[in-house]
Structure 1
Amino acid sequence: MDTEILARIQFAFTISFHYIYPPLSIGLGLIMVIMESLWIRTKNEKYHILAKFWTKIFALTFGIGVVTGIVMEFEFGTNWATYSRYVGDIFGSALAAEGIFAFALESGFLGILLFGWNRVKPWVHLVATIGVFLGSMFSAVWIVVANSWQQTPAGYHIVGEGMNARAEITDFWAMVFNPSSVDRLTHTWFAAFLAGAFLVLSVHAYYLLKGRYVEISKMAFKIALGVATVFSLMQLVTGHSSADGVAENQPAKLAAMEGHYDKSGPADLYLFGWVDNESQEVTGIKIPGGLSFLIDQDFEAPVIGLNAFPEEDRPGQVNAVFQFYHIMIAIGMFFIALTLYACFLWWRGTLFTNKWVLKTFVFSVILAQIGNQVGWFAAEMGRQPWVVYGHLRTSEAFSQAVTANQIVFSLILFFVVYALLLFLFLYLLTKKIKHGPYDEDDNDMEERRFTKEITNQVTNTLNA
């Protein structure tokens, strides 16, 4: 394997592992704000218990996310030196803004969030929770802005030539609000809200199936279901808007996402399929002219296809881009169907007695993670062969001084360390879930109450 491919594999591995945690932190932050607000408004102690419980899990995801994110910044300098020099002015501004507007806000309130229970007034603690939540969202802003600039560069000019060329900002706000940043940011935010909501749904569905913490789990489940339903539907809006932007600014990526090769002909919309890049054919179930209709509201409208571009300017793995994109859409549609059906059962009063729906929610957290991952894979692989779209090729961006053996060695080390971190995360998460939302004294009381309820049910059945 050559150095470029190995460098791409290493970065894809590290960012994929890191990206498990920030969406969970953002999503759990929203859930925590809602729970704590309900506690202050209703004075119901159960909301307080839920907020404290999910704050502990938030702290776990936040800590692992910070540790795994540091590595990527070093990779920019070691494996992608040409890229770092080219985009240094752009990325430096965005990352500096992240430090000022996001990390400072998060770190300023994090101590109060974690250790301020019973030490500060409830409204002060809520302000700290909101501060940490907003900090996590602002962090996503600047990361997505930097990445979106690579997809649709704006507000810059090129200084120097050849290997010494680099992009410099001429208009900071044009760089921030580049053509794809707003659509991609809202889509990323909503996906993060779904990741957090489905983790809460998964845990409390598990409790309900086991017959433990029933009352408090119903309360948490309803909160998370409301969040999941709203943002599952909102993803349709942001996803459509984002796809329209890709059609305008990155037509080769959109053509790869739908396996459309015709230079300028009507484009079909595939529900699923398989792309043969050599024969330029897609086998699957499609809506004829469906993509043309979504873009121009006309089934016969021409859409730019892959054959309109030189072969060296097309994404290399068309089928992979196609599959990742369609998996993301399938998961999104499944979430819409699942949450709407669950809301219907809630309205009928049978939600918490339907074991199959609860079991589906237990495993749905995995789909939320898969959806986030494949969405980024489709976006990044669809941008190829460019690392900065239309300006800097990936093949020109990696460090010439780094050897393949060095990357392989570091990749093995990363794999070992990340495997240990994943084991630690899953172990601690499982431990917290098994412990439950109550503190030790409250937990014992809950267990006694649960045992008493079961005993009463058995007694009543025998008496009957």
Structure 2
Amino acid sequence: MEFLSDAVVLSRMQFALTAIFHMLWPVLTTGMAIYLVIVEGLWVKTRKPEYYHHARFWSKLYVLNFGIGVASGLPMEFQFGTNWAPFSEAVGDFFGSILGFEASMAFMLEAGFLGIMLFGWSRVPPIVHYLATIMVAFGANLSTFWILVANSWLQTPAGGDFINGKFVVADYFQAILNPFMVNSVLHMFFATLETSLFVIGGISAWYMLKRRHTAFFAMSFKIVLAAAIAVTPIQIAIGHLSAEQVRHYQPSKLAAMEAQWEDIPAGSTADWSLVSLPSNKTESNRFEIKVPQGLGYVLEFKSTLSEPIRGLKSWSQRDRPHAIGLIYYAFRIMSGIGFALAGLMLVSVVQWLRGKLVAGAIADQKWLLRGWLFAAPLGYIAVESGWIVRCVGRQPWTVYGELRTADMASNLPAGEILASLTGFAVLYSVLFVTTLYFASRIIVKGPNLELPIPAVALKPGVEIEPADHEPNRRPTEAQQ
């Protein structure tokens, strides 16, 4: 329990806790906002009530996630001033301004139009409301952009020099367009979208398994499946490109991801480690299951390596990651989930082509729907695992190759950090349970298919097509 008296370790634990918890919420809001743009766009075009009811139902889950995301994000950013003051002083001229852009450009844009999106249905014309929804989605994803710009710069610093321990910006745009930026932004964008698609698909599957509003949720299920056909393979491809960048710019992280201790020269073959038990103490893998000549195929799609791979032993203990097992398995969890979701998408497409996903038959596809229900939380696990690889694999550096994490922590008493860490753990546990409770209430209650179309959306002489209702459902007194 020596770590309880280590201020640096406790500050890292606190930041990890707040970051992991915060990440759960914007992952869904950024992706679900795009889904809301799709369904509301279909409503504006067709005026079919079911699209309107989809927009109203899913926006409830959106705003719940948005609120918790804001509440959990603020304490995380405050830690740069409390627990990591030397870091903020060293890189604040660039890193601080990027976080400021995220708040002033992205968050304010999203928050500014959110009120219209939630409460403006009967107050503004449909096209104005649709514009507000688009701006909310744009703001949410712009936030992702700026956060990934900041984090990518930590991975591959560019655009200036460190002078007397402080980063001096020479070219602001070069710093923004650092080598990791483009792939990182795209990888996270598709990660949030893929996670949201499978969450929406999983919730829709739950309703159809319960045979509630089957026709209604068959529609949302097929919308997300159509989007997943493009998103899942693109995400895998971008993930591979990101791994290639890690190989080039952060070879110590790649060695940790593969638990590779020895150097591998160019022109040779190398086995790929499928399962292993890495040991820092012995600088070896105590147990290992390998795929013969697999590493070349994983990295270059061929058996022989065209470039050498440095093993962990080529760095001193001080200059390489220590949590090898965590990085190794987090990478495999992330990758495995990506391929599993792609496989589920392919099976679903086959059933769609066979005509098994029509409203009258989809509820009978129990194993397929259970697969989607099981897949709903997997995107979250993949995203969290990816960030573990990204940030833990960067250690022992806060800014890769420039600033060490141990030197960037504030000089605070360990007891005070432990107290705040405990407080965050308790508070976030309460927030998590509370959020699940309110989300479950929204889901159990289900969509209100009796919700009238806003009067501002009605055009003289145009009849609105009635929404589908469940068979054998008794009409309400008002309908009678």
TM-score by length of 2: 0.89
For 2:416, which of 385, 406, 412 is the aligned residue? Answer: 406
- What residue is the counterpart of 1:241 in the other structure? 241
Residue among 46, 53, 56 paired with 2:50 = 46
Give the letter aligned to residue 62 of structure 1: F
Who is 1:437 aligned against?
447
For the 8 Å contact 2:261–2:283, the answer to whether it is kept is no
Aligned to 2:160: 156
Residue in structure 2 matching 1:23, options 27, 31, 35: 27
Structure 1 CA distance for aligned equivalents of residues 195 and 430 of structure 2: 23
Match of 2:120 in 1: 116
Quick check: 1:292 aligned with 2:296? Answer: yes
Q: Is the Cα contact below 8 Å between 1:288 and 1:299 reproduced in 2?
A: no
| Counterpart residue number, 2:37 | 33
1:316 paired to 2:319: no
Equivalent residues in 2 for 1:168-183, closer than 5 Å? 168-183=168-183
Q: Does 1:339 align with 2:345?
A: yes
| Structure 1: gaps spanning 5 or more residues | 454-464
Write out per-residue CA displacement over residues 329-380 of structure 1, whole angstroms, 9 at most, x where no aligned residue: 1111100001110111111122422101111211212111111111101111
Query: Could you report, residue by residue, the CA deviation over 1:44-82 in whole angstroms, capped at 9, with x for unpaired residues?
Result: 110110011111111110111011000012111111111
Distance 1:85 1:440, change over 3 A: same
Matches of residues 233-272 of structure 1 in structure 2 within 5 Å?
233-265=233-265, 266-272=269-275
Task: Indicate the percent of aligned positions where both proteins have the same amino acid.
Answer: 39
Match of residue 224 from structure 1: 224
User: Which residue of structure 2 aligns with residue 68 of structure 1?
Assistant: 72
Gaps of 5+ in 2: 453-466, 476-480
Residues 1:451 and 1:381: Cα distance change in structure 2 (over 3 Å) = same
Cα 1:341–1:407 change in 2 (3 A) is: same
Distance in 2 (CA, whole Å) between partners of 1:373 and 1:391 is 25
Compared CA separation, residues 447 and 316, structure 1 to 2 (3 A) = same
Greater than 4 Å deviation, 4+ residue runs = 439-442, 445-450
How far the C-alpha of 1:256 sits from its partner, in A, is 0.6
CA distance in 2, matches of 1:276, 1:96: 41
- How far is 1:279 from its partner? 4.6
Aligned to 2:129: 125
Partner Cα distance (1:410, 1:136) in 2: 29
Aligned letter for 2:317? E
Name the stretch that deviates more: 107-116 or 315-324: 107-116
> For the residues of structure 2 that align with 1:267 and 1:17, how far apart are their CA atoms?
38
Range that drifts further, 299-308 or 249-258 = 299-308
Inter-CA distance 73–441: structure 2 relative to 1 (3 Å threshold) = closer
For the Cα contact (< 8 Å) 2:53–2:451, is it kept in 1?
A: no
Task: Describe the SS at the equivalent of 1:264.
Answer: coil
* C-alpha distance in structure 2 between counterparts of 1:345 and 1:376, whole Å: 34
Q: Which residue of 2 aligns with 1:365?
A: 376
Letter in 1 for 2:366: K
Contact 1:83-1:398 within 8 A present in 2 as well = yes
Q: Secondary structure at the residue paired with 1:20?
A: helix
Task: Return the offset for 1:190.
Answer: 0.6
Larger helix proportion of the pair: 1
How many residue pairs align between the two structures?
Answer: 446
Does residue 78 (structure 1) correspond to residue 89 (structure 2)? The answer is no
Higher relative contact order (CA 8 A, sep 6+): 2
Flag the 1:140–1:448 CA change in 2: closer, same or farther, 3 A. Answer: closer
Q: TM-score, normalised by structure 1?
A: 0.92
Q: Which amino acid aligns with 1:407?
A: I
Shift of 1:447: 8.2
**Which amino acid letter does the alignment assign opposite residue 363 of structure 1?**
F
Please report the RMSD computed on the Cα atoms of aligned residues, expressed in angstroms: 1.9
Contact 1:198 1:365 in 2 (8 A): yes
